[in-house]
Amino acid sequence: MDSVVNRRKPVIPVIRAADRSQHIQEANLKERHLFVLKKLLKRSHVGFLLKELTGIAKILNICAEKVKDHPEYVSILNEALKICRLPFLKEKASDEVTYAQDVIEFLSHMGCLMRVSDAAVRQQIVESVKSFYSSVAPKQQPDGLQSTSPGYRLQLLELSDLAQTLLLSMATLKTQPAIKLQLLQTLQILSGSSDMNCALILNAHGAETICLHMNEPDPSGQVLFCSSEILWNLLERGRKDEVTAQLSSMECVVSLKEAFFHLLMNGFQHADLQLRNDLLVITTLIAENPNSLLIESLFAKQLMGLVTFPELKTQNPLVRNLKLSYSNEDLKMKKLLLNLLVIMSKDFSALQLYKEEQVMLALLTLVKPPAASSERRSGLRHWSSVQQEELQLQALATLATIAPLMLDNYMSCQGNACLLLLLDWCIGQDAFFGQGHGFHGAGGRGSKKAQMRHCIRVLRSVTSSGEESVNQDLCDQGTINQLLGVLMQMEASPDEEDDITLEIKSDIQLILSALCEADMHRKELFGSEGVEMTLHFLRKDSDKFYSGLGHNKLLLSTVDCVWSCVVGCYTTEDFFLVREGVSLLLDLLTWSPRCVHGIVLATLLELCDNANTPSHILSWRDDGGQTAPRLLLQLWRREEEELGVGRSQHGEITDPQRPILSHHQQENTQPPLPANRASAAVLEISENLRSKIYSIFCKLGFQELPGLSPKDYVTLSVVRRYLDFKVGEVWDEISRELSVDGVRPVSPDRESLSTICKIAEDTAKKVTAEQSSFLEQQEKENVSEEELMYTELKSHWKQLELTAKSWNDYVSKTSNYEILKEVKAERKKHIESSRPKVKLEAAAAHPEENFMGQVLAVETTGAQGPAGVKVTLARAAIRAAGPDHVEPATQDPEYFSTVSVKD
């Protein structure tokens, strides 16, 4: 009974008349909206007008808001988005510019429609955006309307927020994997077609977003591929540093690690292996960022296990279950891992990881000479000979970077012995034909040149570190003699030199320099064989210096080898001097460019500590007869011209207050440097050649230098006082710095500074006076030589006049009979007057006659005609023989001209 009494009647909702009418009104309004929208879409089935885009965008937004409560609007949105695939329409050509901002806002509103949860709407949006990049044939347009240009919409899309909005909508697609894949494909198209789209995606942290969603459940198996492609587009077309910064977070690194090892263990198809390698490349780029968390995420530790596989046995469960197919993609992965070692070596913690994972031992195992085919284990898969060669060269290139950073580990693994064995194999005569594949195998096809090149590079890198234990170990194994033998064997080879061969020779010389520089015993081991090697390369043809193949580097390394391996050891120095090594260095100064002069002069200066060197320098002459002192003074003048030092046309000092100051120092107005830094006056000593030339002259002396001209003596007077001028320049700089700093020295110091500056100026004035005396003396000598030349010219012209007069006389006597008779009468009269007054009777019966006797001399004067011959005759008197015959007195020879002989 109680239950019946307490039973309540069901509540029946009361519908008021006003609410019912409102409901009916809303239903009618919705139907009217749908009717109008369908009519509008039907009218715009060939495309939306540019001027109507603003209104259409508002309508689409209203429809998007009503979809949740009224699913009928979904079809309207889908139909409108389908029309968006068509090109926009314009009534006038200027509409594209007029309504550009409306188009930008409309495209941005399209991206905002991704908030609609309906899968069909989202699919229509991404398909519409993808259609922008495909050629859609426009339908027949109504009269007066035209389609916009093909690139118009794409150009404005870059100015909208569409790319960013689509990226941000990925977070809402976890339950719609098919739409997510289409969205990724759309982002792939956007990022691959425009740098501006990449920038927009990056501004929205696109790289990080893509990376974090790449490992979500994916029935199609394409999400990881599309994500990788988007990251590649962002790296190639966007800002690389920003991409790597976004991917360096712990979450992104872990996501990359999961994706990589998933493909490593489960990927067997070629596309999977390629994708695995792509992710490894992205990881390598991340490793270049110093803030990356590869080590903290344990990703690097797991990758180190792959580096040592399969060369070393390991208990790592990840690697123990791994099976390589030894395909080209596996080879690429191995090479990428070796390259990753080089990238990560900048981090000290990475070096500690290398030691823990025995990376050095794995690298030295890879660089061993290839085993003979009979030694390969049968029945086991392994790298092919071509692949083994590429890995060997890649490992050598990696060692060149890592070995100097891990010398203790390198020595514990006997790295020197391993490399020297490889070097022996490189110069061996066994048959080996390098394939020359890959970047590191360039130039080594058909030979072992590539292996030798990289082996020498590793030795150069470990010796240049200066670690004494490493260098001593190399010397104990006979590396000096071995390298000298390799170098001369290569030089004796008939093969034509190329850039790789020259690089190997140069690197060998640098290794020898590093080994012998600070050890006398090693210089003795270098010995005469090494000296002959340096002399051989110093005699190289100078025309090859500018060949572009590397002869310039080889020449510099040769001079450095002389400095490090020859200088300082008297036995090698003396042999170098006897073999005319100094002459070769001076020859090098005559033709080499200015960049080489510094090291050559420094080497000559070091050699001058040997007492025998100055005589070799002073006795040197070049092809033109120029002496070494004159060559050095020419270099001094050329250096001062480069520095802009003030000099007159004859080389005199123009400013006694700044006798050697360069133009740069005069214009330098920078504030004073700290006390722990060298000033400009001190730095200038090491930056040019003047200090070296002055030091060499100090060894040679400043007196009785051969082959100097007056101009050279003018320059020499400056060189002799270089140190005095430099001291004055330093004190003047100190005085100016005190003045700039507002420091006033105490009176005694101030007087000392003034006196020092005055002494330097007086010294410059004395040198100027000395230079003037040299020039005056030279002027007097020039005048004297000029007067002597004029005297010789006058004598020459006088002789020509006498010769011409003699010739004229001869011609007049032969052409005019009257003149001939006068000459004969004059001669006869002269003969009569020269006879003695008292004559012998026998002479009266037989009168004395003169005859031409012996010809004493015949000379040629060079004139034309008979006047060009000068004959010297002896005159003799002949008388009849008689009892009272008396020999006439001997007369002096008489010089007859050609005319007199004819008479």
Tell me: the pLDDT tens digits for 210-222?
999 999 888 888 9
| pLDDT score of 818 | 79
Asked whether the beta carbons of 223 and 180 are under 8 A apart, the reply is yes
pLDDT at residue 461 greater than cutoff 90? yes
| pLDDT score of 793 | 87
Gap between the Cα atoms of 383 and 327, Å rounded: 9
CATH number of the domain located at residue range(s) 398-641 in this protein: 1.25.10.10
Q: Provide the pLDDT confidence category of residue 18 given band limits of 50, 70 and 90.
A: very low
Residues 6 or more apart in contact with residue 574 via CB below 8 angstroms: 610, 612
* Neighbour-count burial of 47, counting CB atoms closer than 10 A to its CB (0-12 exposed, 13-18 middle, 19+ buried): buried
Average pLDDT over residues 267-273: 91
> Percent of the chain scored above 70 by pLDDT?
85
> Percent of the chain scored above 90 by pLDDT?
49
| pLDDT score of 728 | 86
Whether pTM exceeds 0.85: no
Decide which of 360 and 835 is more confident: 360
**DSSP one-letter string for 17-67:** HHHHHHHHHHHHHHHHHHHHHHHHHHHTTT--BGGGHHHHHHHHHHHHHHT
Decide which of 53 and 829 is more confident: 53
| pLDDT score of 507 | 96
Asked whether the beta carbons of 461 and 407 are under 8 A apart, the reply is no
| pLDDT score of 857 | 57
Gap between the Cα atoms of 347 and 595, Å rounded: 36
Average pLDDT over residues 39-53: 87
- Which of 795-799, 834-838, 850-854: highest mean pLDDT? 795-799
- Strand order from edge to edge, sheet including 894-896: 849-860, 869-878, 894-896
Q: Provide the pLDDT confidence category of residue 24 given band limits of 50, 70 and 90.
A: low
Average pLDDT over residues 403-431: 92
Instruction: Measure Cα distances from 707 to 276, 321, 389, 778, 877 in Å.
Output: 75, 83, 61, 15, 61
| pLDDT score of 245 | 95
| pLDDT score of 373 | 39
DSSP state of 647: B
Tell me: the pLDDT tens digits for 69-94? Answer: 888 889 989 999 999 998 899 988 89
Closest CA to 256 of 218, 226, 234, 227: 227
pLDDT at residue 584 greater than cutoff 90? yes
pLDDT at residue 15 greater than cutoff 90? no
Decide which of 374 and 796 is more confident: 796
Residues 6 or more apart in contact with residue 309 via CB below 8 angstroms: 319, 322, 324
- Beta-bridged to residue 90, according to DSSP, are 146
Q: Provide the pLDDT confidence category of residue 747 given band limits of 50, 70 and 90.
A: confident
Tell me: the pLDDT tens digits for 143-188? Answer: 778 888 878 999 999 999 999 999 999 989 988 999 999 999 999 9
CA atoms within 13 A of residue 160's CA, in its CB half-sphere: 25
Mean pLDDT over each residue of the chain, to the nearest integer: 84
**Domain ranges for the chain:** 26-159, 398-641, 642-786
| pLDDT score of 896 | 37
Residues 6 or more apart in contact with residue 685 via CB below 8 angstroms: 691, 726
Asked whether the beta carbons of 152 and 100 are under 8 A apart, the reply is no
| pLDDT score of 270 | 92
Q: In this structure, what token pair is assigned to residue 141? A: 């347009």
pLDDT at residue 667 greater than cutoff 80? no
Closest CA to 685 of 695, 675, 700: 695
Tell me: the pLDDT tens digits for 468-494? Answer: 999 999 999 999 999 999 999 998 887
| pLDDT score of 875 | 52
Average pLDDT over residues 682-705: 90
Asked whether the beta carbons of 180 and 173 are under 8 A apart, the reply is yes
Q: In this structure, what token pair is assigned to residue 817? A: 């009979």
| pLDDT score of 874 | 52
Tell me: the pLDDT tens digits for 650-661? Answer: 778 888 888 888
